[in-house]
Amino acid sequence: MGNKVMFVRRGQIFVLAVGICVIAAVTLLFQRGGAVTADAMPVGERTIHMVTGEFKTTTKEGKQIEAYRWDPGTVFVNKGENVKLVIYGVNGESHPFVIEGLDITGKVTKGEETIINFHASNEGIYRIICLTHPDAASSGPMIGYIVID
């Protein structure tokens, strides 16, 4: 009799344990499903405008000095977004450029818009570097930063 009671209790514990496992598994699956749904949700397109700018002045000695810049120098996008980067050439005749890590090359010409479309697949900081003005010695540094977060 006592054994039988024990057996029933063990059975109940077993049923309870199985029930908890099933609930945990269903919860996990549901959460995972939710995450997948979130990732699969359509992400918007982000349009960002930049210009090519120039700092220019004359020193007391009458020497003209200048430096070219991307402006704004840093732009932010969310991971997963489709980005449309529109760069308007204001100062400087032309700025051939590369965007490191994104395999993008192009050129910005005065008075024209250069449009760059890319998908922000991976988080990171990607530099847009003008090949004519990459450092201080070449009237730069004309380096901008695209932050994917």
Tell the residue number behind the tokens 């965007």, with chain if given: 99
Contact with Cu ion (CB under 5 A) among 116, 120, 142, 146: 142
Site string for Cu ion, 84-113 (x = CB under 5 A): -----------x------------------
Q: Does 132 bind Cu ion (CB under 5 A)?
A: yes
User: Is the peptide bond between 141 and the residue preceding it cis, with omega within 30 degrees of 0?
Assistant: yes
From 98, 95, 105, 102, select the one nearest 77 (Cα to Cα).
102
Site string for Cu ion, 25-64 (x = CB under 5 A): ----------------------------------------
Instruction: Judge whether 118 and 130 are in contact, CB under 8 Å.
Output: no
Cβ neighbours of residue 49 under 8 Å, at least 6 residues apart?
Answer: 86, 87, 88
Q: Does 133 bind Cu ion (CB under 5 A)?
A: yes
**Of the two residues 114 and 132, which places its CB atom closer to Cu ion in the complex?**
132
Residues that bind Cu ion in the complex, under the rule CB under 5 A: 68, 95, 130, 132-133, 142
